[in-house]
Structure 1
Amino acid sequence: MRGQIILSHGSDSGPDATKVSVLAAFAEALGWKTQRPDYRSDDLAGHAGSVDPRLQRLLAAIDAVDAPPVLVGSSMGAFVSGLASLQRPVAGLFLLATPSEIPGYRQAFGSAEGVPTLLYHGWRDDVCPPEGVIAFSARRRLPLIMVDDDHRLSDSVDRIVEQFGLFLTAVAAA
């Protein structure tokens, strides 16, 4: 067993969404244990209103595992994964289509320093404009992979899985 991974889906999505499902299956094939919290009921409160309930659900999932997990998130799932890392130890952050802020929410995106992190984002993302994640990664000197894709990153799934494999290898070796 390699460790635990918690995968958080985006808004207007679910735990069986394409990216988190593909990444979970891939990680499980490598010997990692995965879980995918279901945030759909939290999302009924709207974007800003869903952050705190999602964050509490994710923190409870982290508290239930016996070692710091790798957090994987897409969009709103990436946002709350970063915030969770500020409150609990995590082994790594693999974040897709990360919003730099949620309009109406009290704080901008943030993540714990010193945690292995990879940000993956589309140049054509019209939901979470790339400028915010580019500025965040530049300030923190974090690895950022920018691809010619939109918010859903549908054309990049194979490359995301490839990068995820490299990321997990590095986390497991640390």
Structure 2
Amino acid sequence: MRGQIILSHGSDSGPDATKVSALAAIAESLGWTTQRPDYREDDRLGYAGSVVPRVARLRAAIDALDAPPVLVGSSMGAFASGLASLERPVAGMFLLATPVAIPGYQAAFDLRQDVPSLLIHGWHDEMCPLDDLHDFARRRSLPLLVLDDVHRLSSSVETIGAQFRLFLDSMASGQ
């Protein structure tokens, strides 16, 4: 067993969403164990209202593990994963379509800086402007892969999967 991965879906989605399902399958094929919390009940509270319960649910999932997990998140799942990483130890971060702010929520996006991380975003993201995430990544010297896609990144699932495989291979080899 390589370790544990927690995959967090975005708003208006679920734990069986296309991207998190595809990434979970890749991770499991490489010997990792995965879990996908269901945030749909939290999401009924609206974007700003769902952040605190999502982060609490994610913290509880991390606390139940024997070792720090890799956090994978898409959109609101990426936002919550970043915030949870500030409060709990994590082994790595693989974040997609990350918003740097949630309207109505008091804190901006942030993440643990001492772990391997990769941000992936779409050039044409209509929900989370690329410029905002690019500025965040630049200030932190974080790797950012920008794809010819929109917020859902649905045209890039294969590319994201290939990047995820490389990311997990580097995590497993300790690079």
Structure 1 length as normaliser, TM-score?
A: 0.99
1:43 corresponds to which residue? 43
2:159 corresponds to which residue? 159
- Structure-2 separation of matches of 1:79 and 1:149: 19
Q: Deviations over 1:20-67 (max 9, x none)?
A: 000001100110000000000000000000000000000000001100
Secondary structure of 1:168's counterpart equals helix
1:116 corresponds to which residue? 116
May I ask how many residue pairs the two structures share in their alignment?
174
Mapping of residues 1-174 of structure 1, within 5 Å: 1-174=1-174
- Structure-2 separation of matches of 1:71 and 1:113: 13
> Displacement of 1:173 after TM fit?
1.5
| Structure 1: 4+ residue segments shifted above 6 A | none
Percent same amino acid among aligned pairs? 69
Which residue identity lines up with residue 77 of structure 1 in the other structure?
G
- Structure-2 separation of matches of 1:113 and 1:97: 18
> Displacement of 1:123 after TM fit?
0.5
> Displacement of 1:115 after TM fit?
1.1
- Structure-2 separation of matches of 1:160 and 1:83: 22
- Structure-1 separation of matches of 2:109 and 2:100: 5
Secondary structure of 2:10's counterpart equals coil
- Structure-1 separation of matches of 2:108 and 2:132: 10
Which residue identity lines up with residue 140 of structure 2 in the other structure?
R
Give the unaligned 5+ runs of structure 1: none
> Displacement of 1:172 after TM fit?
1.2
- Structure-1 separation of matches of 2:169 and 2:74: 20
- Structure-1 separation of matches of 2:131 and 2:36: 28
Structure 2 length as normaliser, TM-score?
A: 0.99
